[in-house]
Amino acid sequence: MEVTFTFSPDLDKASKYKEFIPQLALLIEDEHEEVSVLANVSAALKECFGWFWIGFYLVRGEQLVLGPFQGSTACYRIRKGRGVCGTAWSEGCTQVVPDVERFPGHIACSSLSRSEIVVPLYNKDGHVCAVLDIDSEHLATFDDVDRQYLEELCRIVEKTIYHTSQL
């Protein structure tokens, strides 16, 4: 199914998310293949919001492993508790970082990244199974509006691929 994401140019951030999320839900509703869904979610977010880097890291044993993404090359593996992604995984909560240089232990996959948001995704047992990682080349790009709507988006993704009986 092809979904074209279109928005009025004068929308504020919250309104853009409110239009985007139902369109994304429609795009992924009948697909349960993890890589396929995460790839299209990354592409849709990049297309609509234009952030520097958007992608997923997947929990594999005791580390996060690079999954589908849009942007420049990235770190392959991140240990639990390391960097923004590893912290989101270990703490099980969204991390909003206005300035990555001020985040203790930040992992610089790209020197162009200036701010970041990382949202954990949970499997049907309530364990973090992946994280959505978004980087911006500008300081203080992400705020509570992004947190709210990206967490909502991640709950939709979870229901589509991690809470199904097909796992």
Q: Which amino acid is at 126?
A: G
pLDDT of the residue at 165: 59
C-beta atoms surrounding 53 within 10 Å: 22
Walk along the chain (167 residues) in steps of 10 and give the mean pLDDT of each run: 71 94 94 97 95 97 97 95 95 96 79 92 97 97 98 97 73
Out of 3.20.20.70, 3.30.450.40, 3.80.10.10, 3.90.79.10, which CATH number does the structure's domain 13-162 have? Answer: 3.30.450.40
DSSP for 48-62, written as a single string: HH--SEEEEEEEETT
pLDDT of the residue at 27: 94
What's 92-103 look like in SS3?
A: CCCEEECCHHHC
pLDDT of the residue at 2: 65
pLDDT of the residue at 128: 98
The answer to whether the CB of 157 falls within 8 A of the CB of 28 is yes
pLDDT of the residue at 167: 45
